[in-house]
Structure 1
Amino acid sequence: MCNETNAIADIGGVTIPDSALGRAATEFVRDVSTPLLFHHSSRVYYFGAIAGRQRNLRYDPELLYVGAMFHDIGLLESHSSPDERFEVDGANAARDFLAGYGITQQDIDTVWAAIALHTTPGIPGHMHPVIALVTAGVEMDVLGLTYDRYPDDIREAVVAAHPRPADFKTGIIDAFYDGIRHKPETTFGNVKGDVIAMKDPAFRPGNFCSVILGSRWD
């Protein structure tokens, strides 16, 4: 559980929404999460929102913030189902959270999709800005794919506000593994299969062609 306070920093013109919804999302995730995941999710918001400003995209900051903060909630035991992808668990948690704030179903569906698709490369970038920017933030903070698109002072300010520990690379892989190790079959067809394969030498990932060839069809 992360009990740290969360100072709202203005970085590149981006701040965490200082609204009832924004504050509630911060408190919810801080109360159930680990420091590593809480600060990672906060950085995802900043990097995603800054990418949105760079691309001149229009979006609701509250929806982007909830999408970013809840995107890894499904890794936590308190919000993990026995047989759904962790992305879906996180999307469901965000949906339940937003339902109490008078958010339209369309906006709830947008946040749901942003979380559910954040580990599916090549698709989110063509969708609603909230969906695209959650993935953009994740790809920056975890994979560093767009590292050079963020000026040094912006990167440093984000990390100063929400620290990225020296062992974050191995720490986030461990967090992924701990969150999905009990349901490795849910990694079929997505990038988290690589996590299981790295941590468990006995793991044999599902194979799309084998499913086709082994089906009941003649």
Structure 2
Amino acid sequence: MRLTDRFDVRIPDSQLSREVTQLIRDTESDLLFSHSTRVYFWGALIGRRKGLIFDPELLYTAAMFHDVGLTQRYQKSQLRFEVDGANAARDFLRGHGICDTDVDKVWSAIALHTTPGIPEHMHSEIALLQAGAGMDVAGRGFEDFPDEERDAVISLYPRGAHFAQQMIDEFYNGMKHRPQSTFGTFNDDFLAYKDPAFKRVDLCNIILCSHWEHG
């Protein structure tokens, strides 16, 4: 069963999308590539179900770039991995003559996809990327998808038996060299889970020890 035939959700058939696909295929592991593609499908299905107006090409680009900051290319970066991915997508889209308004949507979608409570109040592409990523990684909204929709997506881009642990490993390997970038996000959970020696930053301690208190 093809998802495109049965549910009228498909990867955009454009030169831009084909180039995005090839670039990410050449850059990411099979795990991240399949995950990113599923994120697009989940997001597009949510958008269709909710009657949202969105640009499939922009959503697809955001989905495919959203975890590229975890790859080997960024093993020396000290930025948040989301910002690395957002910057990469921005450079790609600008190189293809995409207008600044659309570039900003994709940048924000990627940069904010691990920031709860904000994306759902922004443009549809931004909200749907976070929703799709949450569905694929943590099963957020799982019960809202009929079995046939879930089965159709997974049949095209399988998760594999050990996806959860492998995805945790991908996050950890993409951020262990920049632990400070996880402050203020839930990304420090991955470092704490994998590294018993990891120390979380405590904002209360920062405030209490600041120059304002001891200057």
**TM-score, normalised relative to structure 2:** 0.95
CA deviation after TM superposition for structure 1 residue 122, in Å: 1.2
Verify the 8 A CA contact 2:3 2:153 in the aligned structure 1.
Answer: no
Aligned residue number for residue 110 of structure 1? 105
Aligned residue number for residue 124 of structure 1? 119
Q: What amino acid maps onto 2:8 in structure 1?
A: G
Aligned residue number for residue 166 of structure 1? 161
Partner residue of 2:53 out of 58, 62, 65: 58
Instruction: Decide which structure has greater helix share.
Output: 2
CA deviation after TM superposition for structure 1 residue 106, in Å: 1.1
Q: How do 1:11-22 and structure 2 match up within 5 A?
A: 12-22=7-17
The alignment status of 1:213 with 2:203, answered yes or no, reads: no
Per the alignment, in what secondary structure is the counterpart of residue 121 of structure 1? Answer: coil
Aligned residue number for residue 133 of structure 2? 138
Aligned residue number for residue 195 of structure 2? 200
Verify the 8 A CA contact 1:81 1:89 in the aligned structure 2.
Answer: no
Aligned residue number for residue 3 of structure 1? none
Aligned residue number for residue 148 of structure 2? 153
Per the alignment, in what secondary structure is the counterpart of residue 212 of structure 2? Answer: coil
Aligned residue number for residue 86 of structure 1? 81
Partner residue of 2:36 out of 33, 38, 41: 41
Q: What amino acid maps onto 2:20 in structure 1?
A: A
Q: Deviations over 1:86-117 (max 9, x none)?
A: 00000001001101111111111110000000
Aligned residue number for residue 175 of structure 1? 170
Q: What amino acid maps onto 1:43 in structure 2?
A: R
Verify the 8 A CA contact 1:80 1:89 in the aligned structure 2.
Answer: no
Q: Deviations over 1:125-164 (max 9, x none)?
A: 1110000000010010001010011110110010111111
Per the alignment, in what secondary structure is the counterpart of residue 9 of structure 2? Answer: coil
Q: What amino acid maps onto 1:212 in structure 2?
A: I
Q: What amino acid maps onto 1:84 in structure 2?
A: L
The alignment status of 1:75 with 2:66, answered yes or no, reads: no
CA deviation after TM superposition for structure 1 residue 59, in Å: 0.9
Verify the 8 A CA contact 2:75 2:177 in the aligned structure 1.
Answer: no
RMSD of Structure 2 on Structure 1 (CA): 1.3
CA deviation after TM superposition for structure 1 residue 79, in Å: 3.6
Equivalent pairs: percent with the same residue?
53
Count, aligned residues = 212
CA deviation after TM superposition for structure 1 residue 217, in Å: 1.7
Q: Which sections of structure 1, spanning at least 5 residues, go unmatched?
A: 1-6
Q: How far apart, in 2, do the equivalents of 1:191 and 1:207 lie?
A: 13
Bigger CA drift: 8-17 or 106-115?
A: 8-17
Q: How far apart, in 2, do the equivalents of 1:105 and 1:195 lie?
A: 34
Q: Deviations over 1:23-58 (max 9, x none)?
A: 010001001110000000000000000000011000
